[in-house]
Amino acid sequence: MLYSYNLLQSFIKQKLVSANQLNDTLNNCLGDTHFKKVSNDYVFDIELTANRIGVLAGHKNMAKEICAMLDLDLKAIKDYKIGKIAKPILMSVKNNAKASCQIYSGIVLTNIKIKESPSFIKDALNNCGMRSINNVVDITNYVMLEIGQPMHAFDYEKIEGNKINVRYAKKDETITVLTGDEYKLNEDILVIADQTKPMAIAGIKGGIAGEIDKNTKTIVLESANFNSVDIYKASKFLNLATDASVRFSHKLSPSLAREALKRAVELFEKYANAKVVSNVLETGVISDQPLIVPFNLERVTKLIGQSISEKDIQRILTKLGYTIKKISSKLWNVKVPVYRNNVLIFEDIVDDLVRIYGLDNLELIPPKVELLSPKSNEFYQFKEMIKDYMTMLGLDEVYNYSFINEFDTKFLNDQQQRWLVGPKNYLNENYRYLNPVSLITLLKNVTTNLAYFEKAKFFQIDKNYRSVSDVIFENTYLSFAIYDLNKKQKETEVLLEAKGIIENLLAKLAIDKDKYYFSDKYLKDSDKNNKIFKSTVYIYSHSDELIGSMGSVIDNVKAEYKIKNDQKNPWVVLSEIDLSVLYKIMMWSIDFKPIPKYPSSIKDISIMVPWRTLVNDVMMDIHSLKIDDLKDIDVFDVYEPTNNDEYKSLSFHLIFRNNERTLSSNEIEKYLELITKHLTSKGYKIR
């Protein structure tokens, strides 16, 4: 916020230090500060923390802070009193939005002379980045600079029915503000209205309906306190930020409303020839009961690590406006100034104390604490292990934002559409929804990488967000993509490569093959109607819990994401794995076994199966025979014909071994005969 050196000086009894010295002091005690010379003044730009903007919105309270920092004194200001009017002019105020307007004060002034403002007001406004308009508008803005309370003046003659109504806007109600811009309002926006129309957007901007012009003779002066959250939301909704909205959005004290009204009336009488013709029109109640906080001096020492003299503590707190009552030698009752609504507890007062005392004046004492190792986060370690393994398998890691846009949603099935949830005030269309599945972002990665590489493999670990009955669930997923422009390679080979990555990953995690299986059948309704894959292969745990899925991307989906065109049409395979499920079935302890004493015997078998039959289904059929001496089955060749209605050829290595002795050729032949007979019964052809 901007502060004028000359205006600050007007509140301080002694002469202020130089602008350079004051800049250094503000930097040390308040926030990042810069200043520049403007005409015969210096303007300080102070980066205040959010909790201090409302408290230090005016020069008067900033001057109080400076007095505490530099051990100076505020000037005594005589309290201006507004007298009672025997026959007040006809005017009334009604508050129909008490939750959003704690207090509304107004007063009617007549005999107004519209003219140029005195030079000290114009200089203060111009130096603080505000434009001088006329004495009526300038005085309201000048009081805001002094006290921090925004004000507004309406032309009395333009208020229909002589009634001011504080209310919420009606649906689709509009208002044209003083800049000439028209805004469409909603039912959550507070307005100041007369009997028929809104005259101002409360706490933000005045409307032309009650505008002060050269013919104005009588005005209604407004000084009110509005709910900070409501003003902030309205300002964001309308995309309209003003000096008033910034101040109200940071929670001004209601006590400022009356103080500002009295100061404004004083200036209007002096510089606009104004005459008060009404009593103060006020609705709402201001609590004058200040907060009293028990203040233990020993606790101060314990909190900051060293002692500050009682004299310094008392001086600093008194300069900041606190009132101290000593209960005992170590216990005080500290009364908080009414306007300090950012001070709620003991620690807030200590924060004020140390800030003014100076952090540089505190000794550097290392804390005496016991350093304990943090509790191990096993799921985090699990994710890191997954990343290491995926990198070892030749995949590169990518990072994506967890958002999708409206275009992306048409590739989600009905269940995934119902999961959609997103921020109300999204930054742009690309951040409209949180990602319910990871595959969409990987498709975009393929689009980007295809311009540079003919083939690539990459993975990501991120969260998927799903809204179910207004509860948002976050699940961590591993997803990966493989694409290849080489048309000599078949699509099945890319699918098998993806399947091999999954199998190798599970093997690295010590998850045995009997703990999971692949299937082209969905077991839950949420698994079906995939709009991205030609056909989906699912990975299930032995208890039929869905671990993940994989599949080859449909051509029209690739075309939509500009992966497919006349020159390019790569095979694209995507996979998504639920790490929370994988984590549950992972075997943390790996059993080590000695190297087998007896040799293995490897026999090959080739079979013809229908085109849609999965390799895993054939392997599961062989394992179902439960031959103890059959230790492993490896596929080493797949041949697919161009016509999908025909059979395809699968070739396997069958590895036999007995842990107690060497198997005879007769035993192995019997096993082969048993396997061949079983596969034939399933409708497969032995080559």
Q: Model confidence over 400-434: pLDDT tens digits?
A: 999 999 999 988 888 888 899 988 888 888 889 99
Please give the backbone phi and psi of residue 317, each rounded to the nearest 5 degrees, phi first: -65, -40
- One domain, residues 172 and 221: yes
pLDDT of 566 strictly over 80: no
Please state which of the ranges 170-174, 352-356, 489-493 shows the lowest mean pLDDT.
489-493
Select from 551, 585, 619 the last residue of a domain.
585
Q: Does residue 34 fall inside a structural domain?
A: yes
- Render the burial of 484-496: b for 16+ CB within 10 Å, e for the rest: beeeeeebbbbbe
Q: Does residue 389 fall inside a structural domain?
A: yes
Q: CA–CA separation, 60 vs 53, rounded Å? A: 13
Q: CA–CA separation, 345 vs 350, rounded Å? A: 9
pLDDT of 302 strictly over 70: yes
* pLDDT, mean of residues 304-326: 93
Of all residues in the chain, what percent carry a pLDDT higher than 90?
Answer: 65
Residue 250: CATH number of its domain: 3.50.40.10
Q: Classify residue 207 by its DSSP letter.
A: B
* pLDDT, mean of residues 36-48: 94
pLDDT confidence of residue 544: 84
Q: Pick the more confident residue, 53 or 83.
A: 53
What is the per-residue pLDDT across 498-550, written as a single tens digit (0 to 9) for each?
999 999 999 888 888 878 888 877 765 545 567 888 888 889 888 888 899 99
pLDDT band at 241 (very low <50, low <70, confident <90, very high): very high
- One domain, residues 184 and 37: no
pLDDT confidence of residue 526: 47
- One domain, residues 496 and 569: yes
- One domain, residues 573 and 633: no
Q: Is 320 exposed, middle or buried (0-12, 13-18, 19+ CB in 10 A)?
A: buried
| Nearby residues of 48 by Cβ (< 8 Å), 6 or more positions away | 1, 30, 31, 56
pLDDT confidence of residue 523: 61
Please give the backbone phi and psi of residue 287, each rounded to the nearest 5 degrees, phi first: -75, 120
- One domain, residues 466 and 546: yes
Of all residues in the chain, what percent carry a pLDDT higher than 70?
Answer: 97
pLDDT confidence of residue 492: 83
pLDDT of 580 strictly over 70: yes
What is the per-residue pLDDT across 595-619, written as a single tens digit (0 to 9) for each?
888 899 999 999 988 877 778 788 8
Q: Does residue 111 fall inside a structural domain?
A: yes
- One domain, residues 463 and 561: yes
pLDDT confidence of residue 78: 86
pLDDT band at 589 (very low <50, low <70, confident <90, very high): very low
Q: Is 199 helix (H, G, I), strand (E, B) or coil?
A: strand
Q: Does residue 591 fall inside a structural domain?
A: no
Q: What ranges make up the beta strands (E) of 398-452? A: 403-404, 433-434
**Position 57, amino acid:** A
**Best CA proximity match to 353, nearest among 417, 400, 301:** 301
* pLDDT, mean of residues 340-369: 89
pLDDT confidence of residue 530: 76
Q: Does residue 158 fall inside a structural domain?
A: yes
* pLDDT, mean of residues 27-52: 93
* pLDDT, mean of residues 460-468: 92
Residue 577: CATH number of its domain: 3.30.930.10
- Domain count for the chain, please give it: 5
- One domain, residues 660 and 633: yes
**Best CA proximity match to 294, nearest among 327, 338, 339:** 327
Q: Classify residue 173 by its DSSP letter.
A: -
pLDDT of 65 strictly over 70: yes
pLDDT of 588 strictly over 60: no
Residue 619: CATH number of its domain: 3.30.70.380
Select from 284, 314, 334 the last residue of a domain.
284
- One domain, residues 423 and 565: yes
Q: CA–CA separation, 168 vs 189, rounded Å? A: 6
Q: Does residue 151 fall inside a structural domain?
A: yes
pLDDT of 237 strictly over 70: yes
What is the per-residue pLDDT across 105-148, written as a single tens digit (0 to 9) for each?
999 999 999 999 999 999 999 999 999 999 999 999 999 999 99
Q: Does residue 566 fall inside a structural domain?
A: yes
As given in the structure block, the two tokens for residue 324 are 């101290």
**Position 197, amino acid:** K
Q: Does residue 247 fall inside a structural domain?
A: yes
Please state which of the ranges 217-226, 232-241, 258-267, 479-488 shows the lowest mean pLDDT.
479-488
- Give the mean pLDDT of the chain: 90
Select from 535, 557, 585 the last residue of a domain.
585
* pLDDT, mean of residues 638-665: 83
- One domain, residues 488 and 545: yes
- Domain residues for the domain of 454 are 378-585
Residue 299: CATH number of its domain: 3.30.56.10
How far, CA to CA in Å, does 104 sit from each of 289, 321, 342? 19, 26, 22
- One domain, residues 399 and 316: no
Q: Is 672 helix (H, G, I), strand (E, B) or coil?
A: helix
Give the count of beta carbons closer than 10 Å to the beta carbon of residue 347: 12
- One domain, residues 228 and 97: yes
- One domain, residues 235 and 168: yes
